[in-house]
């Protein structure tokens, strides 16, 4: 029998995704945050390092042997979950917000991340966690859930309905623009200073980006992917263009997402601010008769539907709760 309150651990609670989990889970009717960890600030109040949170939680060191919760969110850089997730998964549900378990192909993972894939003991089930494309029964049965990332979630939600319907010709060209929080809270490089970012837009990792194999795994074909950094705190905008015979792409999206609570099909190009603070992804598409291309757009909050909110969506499904429990559907405005 499921406990009245699901006891939750958050490893890496002072980072952007960890703190966002605290913000969202504080109002979740079925959850108790039992443990929050920090590698540098153990023994201190979480609110001392995340003053936007009204919290009395005290940070502790990460000790996998003594961690006693029903589910744990791992909010660390790639490589951390490789060493800890399988052990933890024998006692609790693990939701990993890094990329350590997202790729099915071991060689693709080695090439993208320069790490050896984890060895998962027999009987420990892993699943890719983007609920709109993953069978919910597999999420319920999984011990380790690999939470989808923000660029990939937006690109997949915009493109996958067309790929599944056989309506994509050629190589889709994906252009994403993300807010600076997508780089994480611990970044100290000059390139992330406000004085360097403000008033400028820059492309980065324009070939061989590590998200490419994840997108291709989701949609089943090669893509051309270019991410850009824009000087806003939150938000991700994905524009995808591809040759297609489809002249009514909005209908394709409406059929695909008619029963999905967190994907809204809109009839004008959406803005990132429309979904700020929400777990929603707004999608739009149109056909260009001049070139025979479909242009599909998706916007989401990179810290909510692109990370922590999607992770809570996976938690809800894993524990048989309503998929929408504790998750905001409305954005913040202005």
Residues 13-27: tens digit of each pLDDT: 999 999 999 999 999
Find, among 176, 186, 136, 134, the residue nearest to 155 by Cα: 176
pLDDT for 226 beyond 70: yes
The whole-number pLDDT of residue 192 equals: 79
Q: For CATH 3.40.50.720, list the domain ranges present in the chain.
A: 6-148+306-318
Q: Of all helices (H) and strands (E), which one includes residue 284?
A: strand 281-288
Long-range contacts at 136-143 (CB < 8 A, ≥ 24 apart): 136/317, 139/314, 139/317, 139/318, 140/317, 140/318, 140/320, 142/93, 142/318, 143/89, 143/90, 143/93, 143/94
- The pLDDT confidence band at residue 188, using thresholds 50, 70 and 90, is low
Instruction: Please provide the average confidence, as pLDDT, over all residues in the chain.
Output: 96
Class assignment of domain 150-302?
Answer: alpha beta
- The pLDDT confidence band at residue 81, using thresholds 50, 70 and 90, is very high
For 319, other C-beta atoms within 10 Å of its C-beta total 18
Characterize 131-163 residue by residue with b for buried, 16 or more Cβ atoms within 10 angstroms of its Cβ, and e for exposed. Answer: bbbbeeeebeebbbbbbbbbbbbbbbbbbbbbb
Q: Which residues are catalytic?
A: 150
* The CATH number fitting domain 6-148+306-318, selected from 3.40.50.720, 3.30.300.30, 3.30.429.10, 3.40.1010.20: 3.40.50.720
Q: For CATH 3.30.360.10, list the domain ranges present in the chain.
A: 150-302
The whole-number pLDDT of residue 33 equals: 98
Give the CA-trace dihedral at 59, 64, 69, 70, to 10 degrees. 130
Q: What is the pTM of this model?
A: 0.96
Percentage of the chain modeled with pLDDT above 90: 93
Residues 297-318: tens digit of each pLDDT: 999 999 999 999 999 999 999 9
- The pLDDT confidence band at residue 3, using thresholds 50, 70 and 90, is low
pLDDT for 149 beyond 60: yes
């Amino acid at each position: 029998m499921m406990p009245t309150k699901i006891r939750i651990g958050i490893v890496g609670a002072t980072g952007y995704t960890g703190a966002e989990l605290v913000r969202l889970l504080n109002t979740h009717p079925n959850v108790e945050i039992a443990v929050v960890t920090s590698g540098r600030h153990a023994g201190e109040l979480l609110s001392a390092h995340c003053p936007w949170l009204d919290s009395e939680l005290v940070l502790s060191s990460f000790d996998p042997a003594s961690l006693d919760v029903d589910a744990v969110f791992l909010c660390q850089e790639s490589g951390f979950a490789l060493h800890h997730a399988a052990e933890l998964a024998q006692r609790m549900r693990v939701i990993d917000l890094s990329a350590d378990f997202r790729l099915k192909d071991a060689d693709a993972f080695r090439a993208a991340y320069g790490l050896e894939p984890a060895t998962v003991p027999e009987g420990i089930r892993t699943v890719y966690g983007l609920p709109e494309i993953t069978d919910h029964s597999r999420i319920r049965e999984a011990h380790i859930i690999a939470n989808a990332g923000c660029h990939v979630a937006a690109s997949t939600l915009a493109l996958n309905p067309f790929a599944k319907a056989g309506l994509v010709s050629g190589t889709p060209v994906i252009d994403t623009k993300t807010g600076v929080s997508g780089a994480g809270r611990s970044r100290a490089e000059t390139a992330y200073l406000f004085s360097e970012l403000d008033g400028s837009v820059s492309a980065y990792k324009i070939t061989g980006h590590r998200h490419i194999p994840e997108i291709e795994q989701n949609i089943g074909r090669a893509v051309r992917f270019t991410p850009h950094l824009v000087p806003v705190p939150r938000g991700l905008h994905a524009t995808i263009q591809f040759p297609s015979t489809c002249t009514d792409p909005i209908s394709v999206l409406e059929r695909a997402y008619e029963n999905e609570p967190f994907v809204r099909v809109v009839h004008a190009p959406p803005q990132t601010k429309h979904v700020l603070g929400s777990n929603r992804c707004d999608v739009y598409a149109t056909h260009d008769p001049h070139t025979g291309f479909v242009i599909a757009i998706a916007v989401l909050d990179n810290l909510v539907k692109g990370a922590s909110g999607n992770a809570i969506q996976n938690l809800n499904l894993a524990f048989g709760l309503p998929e929408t429990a504790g998750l905001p559907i409305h954005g913040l405005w202005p």
